[in-house]
Amino acid sequence: MKKQQQHPGGGADPWPHGAPVGGAPAGLGGWRRRVSLLPFLRFSLRDYGFCMATLLVFCLGSLFYQLSGGPPRFLLDLRQYLGNSTYLDDHGPPPSKVLPFPSQVVYNRVGKCGSRTVVLLLRILSEKHGFNLVTSDIHNKTRLTKNEQMELIKNISTAEQPYLFTRHVHFLNFSRFGGDQPVYINIIRDPVSRFLSNYFFRRFGDWRGEQNHMIRTPSMRQEERYLDINECILENYPECSNPRLFYIIPYFCGQHPRCREPGEWALERAKLNVNENFLLVGILEELEDVLLLLERFLPHYFKGVLSIYKDPEHRKLGNMTVTVKKTVPSPEAVQILYQRMRYEYQFYHYVKEQFHLLKRKFGLKSRVSRPALRPQFFIPTPLETEEPMDDEEQDDEKWLEDIYKR
């Protein structure tokens, strides 16, 4: 028989098969020594300190997370740096900026149709309402090549929204090049009046400076600068004949080569674009009503525009853009202009009729205006013959103010 083992203190060994897990209980002399159970559980005091420091950092991070309502910024940056997909899975895309509708507006302003007055108003309004007014230093290039159209559309489309882009340029079809079609607005005026204003402006400028016409047309010869308007028309000079007189319609027809040819095709295409792509085409002769409707349709751009326009200080600035030395041609010359601008007048009266219909929908009544020299091939529009104004409606200025206060 195998003898029972003796422990050093005498007597039989109470654990013949080894000490219990965790070592011998206190008071058992020899079994107070350190017992190593598993090699991988061995650690030093330095290891213990490292573990405690890690635990402390973890606890502080959790506390910071709860107090701030989310993870620390540096952790988010780290997650985004390590992998955008994981970051977006956990947090989703950043909230998008809430934009007004429409947030993309293009004013492809027609020359000598009050555009400088409107641009002055837009500069004030952009600061007041915080929209992005995008202008251009290019004033004399309205017809663009395909590549130029693509480049301009790209530049406009990448502008910060909400934006309003303005430039003298013929209608651009954004959707043709894969872009989002913006909302268009514009203003036109009586074609002969527009032509006369442009004719004298090129020669003598406006009240902003006595020499600004020299800057715009430095190469114009003196005999051309002082050419009598009647001689220009009656002698059929290039400046006073087609295709130079075919000016307004291409702004609405577009960049197609046929849009520069006076005829039914360009006229009908211009009308189609007005109906499909223009929110409003106003008449300069009724500018206050145009501004009133723009304020109704696009309040995030034009709110308060009418009060700014009527402000005496703005009136003073607006008067500086009036063309100087403008004279009226003879009745014979005006009649010839009417004949040469036949399609321009058809378009003008179509737009005028649409504008008056729009005013009726909003409770605005059209004024009676009978041009001095109407060509025989035009039939007076119903708005000019069927809306006699009562005596109580004569004070248009007061009536507009009442409408604005509503």
Q: Is 205:218 a contact under the CB 8 Å cutoff? A: no
Q: How would DSSP label each residue in 189-251?
A: --HHHHHHHHHHHHHH-BTT-TTHHHHH-TT--HHHHT--HHHHHHTT-GGGSTTTT--STHH
List 373's β-bridge partners, or say none: none
Q: Catalytic residue at 314?
A: no
CA–CA dist 172, 277 (Å, integer): 10
Residue partners of 161: CB distance under 8 A and separation at least 6: 99, 103, 104, 132
| Radius of gyration of the CA atoms of the chain, in A | 40
Q: Of 7, 168, 314, 349, which is the active-site residue?
A: 168
Beta strands 104-107 and 183-188: pairing type? parallel
Q: How would DSSP label each residue in 27-90?
A: T-GGGGS-----GGG---HHHHHHHHHHHHHHHHHHHHHHHHTS--HHHHHHHHHH-HHHHHHH
Q: Is 200:324 a contact under the CB 8 Å cutoff? A: yes
Tell me how far apart the terminal alpha carbons of the chain are, to the nearest angstrom: 118
Q: Is 319:308 a contact under the CB 8 Å cutoff? A: no
C-alpha triplet 190, 192, 198: angle, nearest 5°: 100
CA–CA dist 353, 364 (Å, integer): 13
Provide the annotated active-site residues.
Answer: 168
